[in-house]
Amino acid sequence: MFRAVASRAVPRAARPVTQSTFCAPNIYFQGRLRRGYASEAEEKDLVIIGGGVAGYVAAIKAGQSGLKVACIEKRGALGGTCLNVGCIPSKSLLNNSHLYHQILHDTKNRGIEVGDVKLNLAAMMKAKDTSVSGLTKGIEFLFKKNNVEYIKGTGAFKDEHTVAVNLIEGGGETTVRGKNILIATGSEATPFPGLTIDEKKVITSTGAIALQEVPKKMTVIGGGIIGLEMASVWSRLGSEVTVVEYLGQIGGPGMDKDVAKQAQKLLQKQGMKFKLNTKVVSGDADGEGVKVTVEAAKGGKEETLDADVCLVAIGRRPYTNGLGLENIGLEVDERGRLIIDQEYRTKIPHIRAIGDVTFGPMLAHKAEEESVAVIEYITKGYGHVNYGAIPSVMYTHPEVAWVGQNEQELTAANVKYNVGQFPFSANSRAKTNLDTEGFVKMISDAETDRILGIHIIGPNAGEMIAEGVLALEYGASSEDVARTSHAHPTLSEAFKEAAMATYDKAVHY
């Protein structure tokens, strides 16, 4: 069991930089550090490049710890991709498009009769923008509260302790020096060869949250979480959506196979079309719309998909353009990630990196955990992130959420396990809400009953998974969860019943 869990953390532990590289007696580094200091009084304790989730959380935590901090952000608004063009605006659209879809298709059964229902897309986009602006201003307030200097501009290394900043307000350039420097520049959408992103016809998630009209047809390249969430929004609003996925399941390899199968079935029921085990051969956006040529992943007859808009959602890649890494001798690996040790240090020990720009899942909450840990390393000499207990959530309807390992991974690792499952159709709260699709699935070690993974598809899955994360963090058994009282009637009772089914038998199914 522990070998299987550890294998998920290998990319962080297996670093080419040895511990001896960072020892205090290392004369090479001592010399570099001495030469880097011009005047200690002029330096910040910490300079952070990037004001996204990783950067701004680290800045606030550092300020709370009494450090003198400067955070450099080129967007002109804090929060990074997540808050400005990712997690937050997409959830606004997902929530409101779900309400629209529900009013159109799911009110008669609830005793609610409505008249002529119309979509006001401009107003829906305005509601999204209002959510975003309120949150970014909130972060600026927290910066002021914790004495964090906010520098609006693009930062690049001048030397190992100095960052040059091209200011975006008023122009000009300034420099800021730091005893410690944290790289938190995040990631960008991975482009698809042959299709030029214009965020109008060929779009990434950034364009997908800002379309001015509902496309009649949309082709989505990539059936991962981002692709499926954006596909859900526009499908609900009236677009004919086709998702092309190279793998044999949606949701990516982290999603449990049973959950992925159920999710696809329910999304198809909502009107989305899927082409799995299918690769995109080429794309053409020269005409009015976008033509995407596909064929079976193993080869076969080609087929052309016509659409008004094509969403490229094949993943994200670390963003290091213009950072001036060459000026300080920092290199990236074959996937563009900054190489770090277990304390987030690059080969230059006072320069660290966290979040999407380095190893691990590209998730905002993973970046937040690293933000706290890296400040603790700087201020206390120790920190911790449990990479085996990082949840994932897909905010479609029904929601999908999971933490820990899935059946595919455990089977591949030859781990013996037990599985318990409980459907929401047997849950009293779900039945009264008329929202019964999906289930909770729990996996535990066959010998110790320690929980190895939890997978949920159903209402409120994204909130419910927090209990699963806590269970993994504390090493709980399925029996521990099963013997914990859950309020009645609640959706969380399905979680308890799944635990009962794992070590014994569920009562209500």
Residue 99 marked in a binding site: no
Look at residue 14 in the predicted model and tell me its pLDDT.
36
Q: Is the peptide bond before 193 cis (omega within 30 degrees of 0)?
A: no
CATH fold, domain 398-503, is: Enolase-like; domain 1 (3.30.390)
* Same fold for the pair 44-189+318-380 and 398-503: no
Residue 293 marked in a binding site: no
> CA-to-CA distance for 50 and 370, rounded, in angstroms?
14
- Domain edges within the chain: 44-189+318-380, 202-314, 398-503
Q: 1.10.10.10, 3.50.50.60, 3.30.420.40, 3.40.50.1380: which CATH number matches 44-189+318-380?
A: 3.50.50.60
> CA-to-CA distance for 348 and 30, rounded, in angstroms?
11
Look at residue 42 in the predicted model and tell me its pLDDT.
66
> Do the beta carbons of residue 159 and residue 329 sit within 8 Å?
no
Helices 225-236 & 257-269 angle (0-180, nearest 10):
20
The three-class DSSP label of residue 60 is: helix
> Do the beta carbons of residue 272 and residue 249 sit within 8 Å?
no
Residue 172 marked in a binding site: no
Residue 224 marked in a binding site: yes
> Do the beta carbons of residue 294 and residue 278 sit within 8 Å?
yes
The one-letter amino acid code at 431 reads: K
> Do the beta carbons of residue 59 and residue 53 sit within 8 Å?
no
- Cβ contacts of residue 288 below 8 Å, gap of 6+? none
Q: What is the pTM of this model?
A: 0.90
Residue 182 marked in a binding site: no
Look at residue 30 in the predicted model and tell me its pLDDT.
40
Residue 111 marked in a binding site: no
The three-class DSSP label of residue 218 is: strand
> CA-to-CA distance for 162 and 197, rounded, in angstroms?
34
> CA-to-CA distance for 486 and 345, rounded, in angstroms?
43
Alpha helices in 106-155 (DSSP H): 121-145
The three-class DSSP label of residue 172 is: coil
Structure-token match 């981002």, residue found = 226
Q: 3.30.565.10, 3.40.50.2300, 3.50.50.60, 3.30.70.20: which CATH number matches 202-314?
A: 3.50.50.60
Residue 223 marked in a binding site: yes
Q: Which residues are catalytic?
A: 488
pLDDT tens for the 509 residues of the chain, in order: 333 333 333 333 333 333 333 333 343 334 433 333 333 346 999 999 999 999 999 999 999 999 999 999 999 999 999 999 999 999 999 999 999 999 999 998 899 999 999 999 999 999 999 999 999 999 999 999 999 999 999 999 999 999 999 999 888 999 999 999 999 999 999 999 999 999 999 999 999 999 999 999 999 999 999 999 999 999 999 999 999 999 999 999 999 999 999 999 999 999 999 999 999 999 999 989 999 999 999 988 999 999 999 999 999 999 999 999 999 999 999 999 999 999 999 999 999 999 999 999 999 999 999 999 999 999 999 999 999 999 999 999 999 999 999 999 999 999 999 999 999 999 999 999 999 999 999 999 999 999 999 999 999 999 999 999 999 999 999 999 999 999 999 999 999 999 999 999 999 99
Task: Please work out, in degrees rounded to the nearest 5, the angle formed at the alpha carbon of residue 40 by the alpha carbons of 39 and 42.
Answer: 75
Residue 278 marked in a binding site: no
Distance of CA 505 to the CA centre of its chain: 35
Look at residue 171 in the predicted model and tell me its pLDDT.
87
Task: Please work out, in degrees rounded to the nearest 5, the angle formed at the alpha carbon of residue 48 by the alpha carbons of 381 and 19.
Answer: 35
> CA-to-CA distance for 156 and 72, rounded, in angstroms?
10
Residue 322 marked in a binding site: no
> CA-to-CA distance for 430 and 371, rounded, in angstroms?
37
- Cβ contacts of residue 321 below 8 Å, gap of 6+? none
Look at residue 299 in the predicted model and tell me its pLDDT.
87
